[in-house]
């Protein structure tokens, strides 16, 4: 595994304005001198449930994916971004992982936030998704998935777990605690990237993006305002821990349905 300069983009997302968000997110990425990996939040071009009807959003979602690919190529970096897309007449909350060679891998959110009405508008994903890049194995998750440890469980197939999110302020302590718990139990680096500000429905978001190493020690902790910050994803942060404490060998065997 290569050491990767990883940059977290914590924006105050513009409500239901894809063009403005693409422009703003590009400007935020420009603040980083360089990076190997940029990570942006869930639904970063619309806000959570800030999309329009499926017919109106079909082309816009595709334009967002093209934008992620173009940013990855232009910067020579992998770019990870959460986007609302319409495909086959269904709306998905999708995470796109783009690499500079133009390739993309995507994950559709499995656990839809019924409390907020997400399940009424979106279709759930049906598969776990891992992507390999520069020697690292990434597990792709989105926001509410964080609450479901069985779905998140490491079957020794990933080194880093990503949680782009729109996680509201009233439950910020759960956000911080669960990210740390997933890192400890999975012996993996866990990165949660959240938004800040207030959305078009009056929901407040705390920022508080975080990264933890495989022992649960903090690698990066962001505040409650718009911020761009990074850290080096070091292979030793996973390899050394697993060699010294081979706890994954004792994990329970089960199959996720």
The residues annotated as belonging to the active site are 42, 109, 143
Beta 210-212 vs 189-193: how paired, if at all? antiparallel
The closest alpha carbon to 230, from 213, 209, 207, belongs to 209
Q: Scanning the structure block, which residue is given the tokens 């782009």?
A: 164
SS3 142: coil
Could you say which DSSP state residue 42 is in?
A: T
Q: In angstroms, rounded to a whole number, what is the distance separating the alpha carbons of residues 1 and 144?
A: 29
DSSP secondary structure string, 145-201? Answer: GGG-HHHH---S--SEEEEE----GGGHHHHHHHHHHHHHHHTSEEEEE--EEE-TT
Q: In angstroms, rounded to a whole number, what is the distance separating the alpha carbons of residues 252 and 121?
A: 35
Q: In angstroms, rounded to a whole number, what is the distance separating the alpha carbons of residues 4 and 91?
A: 33
Element holding 18 (H helix, E strand): helix 18-30
Q: Scanning the structure block, which residue is given the tokens 């439950």?
A: 171
Q: Scanning the structure block, which residue is given the tokens 């997110």?
A: 25
Q: In angstroms, rounded to a whole number, what is the distance separating the alpha carbons of residues 69 and 79?
A: 8
């Amino acid at each position: 595994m290569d050491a990767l300069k990883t940059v977290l983009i914590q924006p105050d997302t513009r409500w239901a304005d894809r063009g403005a968000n693409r422009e703003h997110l590009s400007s935020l990425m420009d603040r980083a001198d360089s990076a190997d990996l940029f990570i942006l939040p869930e639904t970063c071009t619309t806000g959570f449930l800030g999309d329009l009807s499926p017919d109106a959003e079909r082309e816009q979602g595709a334009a967002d994916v093209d934008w992620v690919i173009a940013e990855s190529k232009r910067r020579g970096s992998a770019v990870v971004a959460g986007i609302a897309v319409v495909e086959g007449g269904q709306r998905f909350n999708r995470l796109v992982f783009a690499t500079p060679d133009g390739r993309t891998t995507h994950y559709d959110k499995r656990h839809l936030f019924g409390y907020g009405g997400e399940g009424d508008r979106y279709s759930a994903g049906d598969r776990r998704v891992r992507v390999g890049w520069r020697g690292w194995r990434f597990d792709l998750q989105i926001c509410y998935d964080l609450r479901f440890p069985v779905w998140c469980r490491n079957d020794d197939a990933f080194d880093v777990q990503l949680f782009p999110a729109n996680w509201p302020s009233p439950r910020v302590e759960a956000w911080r605690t669960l990210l740390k718990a997933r890192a400890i139990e999975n012996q993996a680096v866990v990165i949660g990237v959240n938004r800040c500000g207030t959305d078009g429905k009056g929901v407040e978001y705390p920022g508080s993006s975080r990264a933890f190493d495989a022992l649960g020690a903090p690698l990066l902790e962001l505040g409650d305002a718009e911020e761009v910050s990074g850290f080096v994803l070091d292979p030793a942060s996973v390899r050394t821990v697993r060699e010294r404490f081979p706890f994954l060998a004792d994990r329970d065997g089960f199959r996720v349905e």
